[in-house]
Structure 1
Amino acid sequence: MDWSIFIVFMAASCTAAATGSLFPPDGWYRALNKPRWTPKDWMFPVAWVTLYILSSVAATLVAGREGVGLALAFWAFQIAANTLWSPVFFGLKRIRAAMISLVVLWIAVFGTLVSFWLVLPIAGWMMVPYLAWVSVAGALNWSILRRNPDAVATV
């Protein structure tokens, strides 16, 4: 594994993480009606650190191969899409728009998983936990949207 390439992918991931950390859960979020299966607050950073490391390793493994343009384009798309959700949900408090951003992120992560799989199956497997976590986040966002119609911004 080329560590210099890994460091660049991790730097991109850390940038996405930094964006998310600028918009932590607040009183508004805590007051929302959430399902019982909502992950505890401490689980989010643990999950994201793990997912960022896995996706950066997967991208590094793929980057050294031929014909990986589409796979790396999907990786760039997913990390860019990843930066949207926290500012939209926690910053702007736009639950519906956050749901749309999660759908876009899910598509980007799925595209990354499939394109990585076609290049190197282990790299595709390394994206499975990311897709699972984004699926849980999407289900949570959807549940919050349905349970809190008055908290949904109209603009």
Structure 2
Amino acid sequence: MTAIPGRLRAPLALLPFLAAVAGVALVGGLAAANARSVYSGLDRPSFAPPAWLFGPVWTVLYLVIAVSGWLYWKSGGERQGLVWYAVQLLLNAAWTPLFFAAGAYGLALADIVLLDVAIVVTALYFRRSTRLSAALLLPYLAWTLYATALTAAIVVLN
């Protein structure tokens, strides 16, 4: 078996990070099969975005999340940072089934609050090794904080 040249190992290591976020996206996509009808049937706050915006935003965010994790790994970051990275991915994956498939808006709110915390902790770990990997998590954090406010408003209104 031929060894992979060193200059190719690091870029190929991006693939598991892409696969991990693709898995999260797949779980969300399967759980959100009826998301448009559920979302349109909810009383939403005035700051709620149109349903079509979620897909493009999450596509970009998932790509950035994968690159962030890969950069952290490539920099030799602490194992604990990767554990927090995995935790935030699991919390991310749980939100859509809780909200759309189960209609458990209160549990979805608790999940997304924990997700916000996990993203902050992940970014703090990532910052120790590479500021870029931490900075790449900031749009994700901003979007989830917005989604937290939206989820809280939906819990109150519904």
Alignment TM-score, normalising by the size of structure 1: 0.90
| Correspondence list, 1:51-62, <5 A | 51-62=61-72
- Aligned CA RMSD, in angstroms, stands at 1.4
Alignment TM-score, normalising by the size of structure 2: 0.88
Match for residue 21 of structure 1? 29
Q: Aligned AA for 2:13?
A: I
| Correspondence list, 1:56-135, <5 A | 56-135=66-145
Instruction: Report how far residue 26 of structure 1 moved.
Output: 4.1
* Structure 1: gaps spanning 5 or more residues: 149-155
Larger radius of gyration: 2
Distance 2:120 2:133 in 1: 13
| Correspondence list, 1:135-154, <5 A | 135-148=145-158
Deviating above 6 A after TM superposition, structure 1's stretches of 4 or more consecutive aligned residues are none
Structure with the bigger percentage of helix? 2
Distance 1:132 1:42 in 2: 19
Q: Say if 2:39 and 2:51, in contact at 8 Å, map to a contact too.
A: no
CA 1:94–1:119: 2 relative to 1, 3 Å: same
Q: Aligned AA for 1:53?
A: L
Instruction: Report how far residue 101 of structure 1 moved.
Output: 0.7
Distance 2:109 2:51 in 1: 19
| Segment drifting more, 94-103 vs 33-42 | 33-42
Query: Is the counterpart of residue 8 in structure 1 residue 34 in structure 2?
Result: no
Identity among equivalent pairs (%): 28
Distance 2:48 2:156 in 1: 14
